[in-house]
Structure 1
Amino acid sequence: MHKIEDLKIWKKSIKLAKTVYLITSELPSDEKYGLNSQIKRSAISIPSNIAEGAGRNSNKEFKYFLSVANGSAYELQTQLILSIELNLIAKEKVNPVIELCIEIQKMNYSFQQKL
C-alpha cells in the first residue's frame, strides 16, 4: 500500500480537480447538468482512482486504477477542448488546465512503468 499524501501524481491531480471546479463556475447555467457535470466528474475521478489504487493490496491492482485514472484524464482533456471549441470558457483559462492534465497523463504512464 502507498500513502497517497506522498504521491506527487495524487497531489497534482487534487490541484487539477480544484482548478477544474474554479473554471467550470464560468460555464453557462444551462450546462449545469451537461458538460459542467461531466467535466467535474472526470476531474474528481483522477485523484479518486489514484487513491483507490494506492489502497489496494498489490501493484497489479494499483496499475489498474492508475489506468482508469489515466482514462479519466484523457476524458477531461477532451471535455476541456470541447468547452473551448464551443466558446464556453476562454482558451487562455483552459489551456493551463489542459497542460496540467497532460503532465498528469505523462506522470501516470511513467508511474505505471515503475510499478
Structure 2
Amino acid sequence: MKSLHDLVAFQRALDMTEVVYKISSAFPKEECYGLTAQIRRASVGVVAQIAEGHGRTTYGEWRQFLSQARGSLFEVESEAIIATRLRFISAETFESVNREIKRTGKALVGLIRWVQKMERSTARPRNRETPQPR
C-alpha cells in the first residue's frame, strides 16, 4: 500500500492548510476563537480525515473518512467566502486560497473514485498486495 505521504490528496490538503493558516493570521484578533479557529479546524480536519481513513482496514471505512474530508473541504470554502464578505481578506487572497481548495478537491475526488472502484472489486480488507492508487 502507498504511504500516506505519497497520496496526492494528502499533499494537496497539507498545502491548502498551510495557505489557510497564513491567510487567517491576518483575521481580526477578536476572531481568534471565531472564524480563525473554525477555518483552521476545518482545514486540519481535511488532512486528518484523509490520514485516519488511510489507516482503516477496509475500503468502505476509508471511503467514509474521505467523504467526511470532502465535507470539511466545503466548510473551508464557505468560511473563506465569509472572510471575503466580511473583508477580512481581499478578493485576490480569496482566489489564492480557493485555488488550493479546488486543487485539493480534485485530488480528493480522484482518490474517492479509486477507493470506490477498489471497494467494488474486492470485499476483503486492504493489504500489501492490493493495487496502489496513482
Q: Shorter-chain TM-score category?
A: over 0.9
Question: Helix, strand or coil: the match of 2:17?
Answer: helix
More relative contact order, 1 or 2 (CA 8 Å, 6+ apart) = 2
Counterpart position of 1:42: 42
1:55-110 deviation line (CA, Å, top 9, x unaligned):
00011111110000000000000000110011111111121111211221222122
The runs of 5 or more residues in structure 1 that have no matched partner are none
Counterpart contact for 2:15–2:100, Cα < 8 Å = no
Provide the aligned C-alpha RMSD in A: 1.1
Asked which structure has the greater CA Rg, the reply is 2
> How far apart are 1:112 and its partner, in Å?
1.1
| Alpha-carbon offset, residue 2 of structure 1 | 4.5
TM-score normalised to the size of structure 2? 0.82
Aligned equivalent of 1:111: 111
Closer/same/farther in 2, CA of residues 53 and 60 from structure 1, 3 Å limit: same
Q: List 4+ stretches of structure 1 deviating above 4 A.
A: none
What is the number of residues matched between the two proteins? Answer: 115
% identical equivalent positions: 30
Where structure 2 has 5 or more consecutive residues not aligned to the other structure, the ranges are 116-134
Which amino acid is the alignment partner of residue 95 of structure 1? E
Cα deviation 1:21-72 (Å, max 9, x = unaligned): 1111100001111111100000100010000000000111111100000000
